[in-house]
Amino acid sequence: MWEFISERRASLAFDAYQHASLVLQCVLLATIIAVVVAALITRARQLEPVANAVSAIGLTMPSLALIGLLIPLSGLGTTTAVIAVTFYAVMPILRNAVVGFAQVDATLLESARGMGMSELRTLTRIRLPLAWPVILAGVRISTQMSMGVAAIAAYVIGPGMGKYIFTGLATDGGANSVNNAVVGTFGIVLIALLADGLLLLLGRLTISKGIRA
């Protein structure tokens, strides 16, 4: 096993980096999308059931199936991987962002309005910072989930650690099949733990001391 790893040190490190980079960029994109959509939903409450339905259906759709559906549209490669990972990453963040925005005390929003804050400013200065702990919790869930989805994206020749798992499964019984699958799986788990630690740190840095639990 150690031999297997040390022989492939360079390519493993590169793939691990690619995996982390794919997930983090997709989650970042997903956070922006989710917050924008949630802000729109908070303005037009009648959209809330629609959003809930979409995110519920979205999460039940098997990722392999979605990737399969995407191939005719965006072909094989990174683009498809990014679309798939981002799609799943949006769901938990969107849910938390809708809940987080709804939890902001209405009297606070009225006093913001009463002081002459524009709607956009109220969103960025009041709503977002107050909902941020809940949104960030969604980002953590989303990141963990995306680590797994990104592995499956290797099916369409996306970047990352997924290819070791697929290689392992495809060469079942072969000399290095177990090594491949185990290295791929544990590598992803390791990256996931690291990412979660970083997000915790981000929370410490970005959640106001006045509302930290």
Partner 1 sequence: MTTTEGAPEGTDREISGAELVLTDVVKKYPGQKTPAVESLSLTVPAGEIVMFIGPSGCGKTTSLKMINRLIEPTSGSITIDGKDIRQQDENELRRHIGYVIQGGSLFPHMTVEKNIGIVPKLLGWDADRISARVTDLLDLVGLEPGRYRGRYPRELSGGQQQRVGVARGLAADPPVILMDEPFGAVDPITRQRLQDELLSIQRELRKTIICVTHDIDEAIKLGDRILILKEGARIAQYDTPEAILGAPADDFVADFVGAGSSLKALSLARVSDLELRQPTTARVGESTAEVRERAEANGDTAVVVIDERGRPRGWPWVRQLKGETIVVPDLELNDVDERSTLNDALDTMLSSNHGAAIVTGDRGQYLGIVDFAAVTEQIRAMEEQAGG
Q: Is 208 in the site for partner 1 (CB under 8 A)?
A: yes
Residue 28 tokens, joined: 């970042």
Q: Is 84 in the site for partner 1 (CB under 8 A)?
A: no
9-43 vs 177-206: helix crossing angle, rounded to 10? 50
Q: Is 47:94 a contact under the CB 8 Å cutoff?
A: no
Among positions 130-159, residues that touch partner 1 (CB under 8 A) are 130
Applying CB under 8 A, among 11, 25, 103, 111 the residue interacting with partner 1 is 111
Applying CB under 8 A, among 50, 118, 170, 198 the residue interacting with partner 1 is 118
Minimal distance in Å, beta carbon 142 to partner 1?
A: 23
**Which of these segments, 18-26, 78-86, 188-196, 205-213, binds partner 1 (CB under 8 A)?**
205-213
Applying CB under 8 A, among 129, 144, 166, 177 the residue interacting with partner 1 is 129
Minimal distance in Å, beta carbon 98 to partner 1?
A: 19
Among positions 91-110, residues that touch partner 1 (CB under 8 A) are 107-108, 110
Contact residues for partner 1, defined by CB under 8 A: 107-108, 110-118, 121, 126, 129-130, 208-211
